Structures are given as structure tokens and as C-alpha cells.
Chain A
């Protein structure tokens, strides 16, 4: 059964810093890996989706990478801003019609 782990559970950085969030998954037979953002009391917003055949995806200041062989994905955020403060969740799509989520990394960007 797929398990997804995110490290660290929480991260606090000063504004302007570049940062990396880590995600690992146990079953490398995934179709894709998705990164979401969740703001307090809100739903999830899809940030990036990486297909299993891809190595990375970029959207603005965000870059997500995928290494299936090692079971890892990273989300790189460049020039962090206070508005980036949120919980970031990664989720792996395996063959059983479902996304398996990690527990998230709570990011705080200090002005």
C-alpha cells in the first residue's frame, strides 16, 4: 500500500529565501505526483502535477521534481513571500483510482 511522507512537518523561513519541501513515496509505480496548497480553513489548491514520465514541472516561482526510482519529489519555492505561507501537501496517484496524501509541510514565511 502506498505511503507518502513529507519532511519537515513545519518550516519557518525569512522572506526572500529559497526553500525546498520534500516528499517521499513507497511505491514507485505511480501515474503522477501532485503538489497542493492548503490555506487555513480552506480547501486544497492544485499547484503542480508531474506525470510519471516527466522529471519536473515549473509554474512561476515553483518547481517540482520527480525521481521515481528513489521514490522522491521536491517542491522548490524561489524568493519566498509571506503570501506563500500555507500547508503544502504532496499526493501520489497509484493504480487504484486514488490519491494518497502526505501529512503536509506547514510553511511560514516571516516578513
Chain B
């Protein structure tokens, strides 16, 4: 059983389109994240949700809108896609956001988005 699963794994689309990436975790974790890995392989946090509530919203264009229907799901919707949005997007989850052990992250396999 996959712990953190993302779909789709690959996404190729035209500039200006709207697309979504879905993420689900079956670990019973309370906290979920979206990270972006750019062409230089640098991983940077975008959003974090704890029990369906937004707790981190880094400097991300408002074309990116996360949605957490329940604590096992965190989806990422992107409007008006731009060339610079091309990257690998990783979903992750952790037991919580506290200190000891709770914040060991489990990552999904990534969704590679290519904007043409």
C-alpha cells in the first residue's frame, strides 16, 4: 500500500490552462504539505495544512490554490499556468507539527508538471 500517493505522475499542458494535482495519504497523519522542486533540484515548501486548516502559505502566486477536503487529502489547483510553473511537485505528510518525532515527513513520488 502506497503511503502518500499523488496523481498524476506526469502532466504536460499548455500555458494558460488550469490543472490539478491530487494527493492522498493513508498513514493517519494530521499534517500535509506541498513542496516544489525546481529545475535546480531545490525543494521549497509551498503550503501546509494541519487537520484541514492552512498553517503555512509561503510566497506563492495566488494562481496556486490548495484544498483539503479532509485530513487525508490535499489537492493543488493551478490556474493560468505559466512556463515557470514547470517543476516537480511533491506532496508529503507528517503525524503532526510538534517537536519530537511527530514531524518526520513521508513524501509522495512527485508529479512532474511541464508547461509548454
Which residues of chain A have a CB within 8 Å of any CB of chain B?
31-32, 34, 36, 41-46, 49, 51, 87, 89, 91, 93, 96-101, 103-104
Bound Cα distance from A19 to B81, whole angstroms: 42
B113 to chain A, nearest CB (A): 14
B110, closest chain A residue (CB): A43
B residues 1-18 near A (Cβ < 8 Å) are 4
- Residues on B facing A (Cβ under 8 Å): 4, 31, 33, 35, 40-45, 48, 50, 55-56, 90, 92, 97, 99-101, 103-110
A-B interface, 4 closest residue pairs, ranked by CB to CB distance from nearest = A101-B43, A44-B107, A43-B107, A43-B109
Residue among B50, B90, B97 facing the most chain A CB atoms (10 A cut-off):
B97
Instruction: Report the tally of A-B residue pairs with Cβ distances under 8 A.
Output: 58
B104–A103 touching, CB < 8 Å: no
Hey, which chain A residues are within 8 Å of B110, CB to CB? 41-43
Residues of B within 8 A of A99 (CB): 45, 103, 105
**Bound CA span A32–B101, Å:** 9
Contact between chains at B41 and A46 (CB < 8 Å): no
Task: Looking at the assembled complex, report how far the CB atom of B46 sits from the nearest CB atom of chain A, in whole angstroms.
Answer: 10
Residue of A with least CB distance to B50: A97
> Distance (Å) between the CB of A102 and the closest chain B CB?
9
Known A-B contacts A31-B99, A32-B103, A97-B97; the reply to A43 vs B90 at CB < 8 A is yes
Q: Which chain B residues lie closer than 8 Å to A41 at the CB level?
A: 110
Nearest opposing residue in chain A for B92, CB measure: A44
Known pairs A44-B90, A96-B56; A32 contacts B99 (CB<8 A): yes
Q: How far is the CB of A38 from chain B (nearest CB, A)?
A: 8
A96 to B56, CA, bound (A): 8
Rounded to whole angstroms, the CA-CA distance of A104 and B42 in the bound complex is 8
Given contacts A42-B109, A43-B108, whether A93 and B103 have CB atoms under 8 Å apart is yes
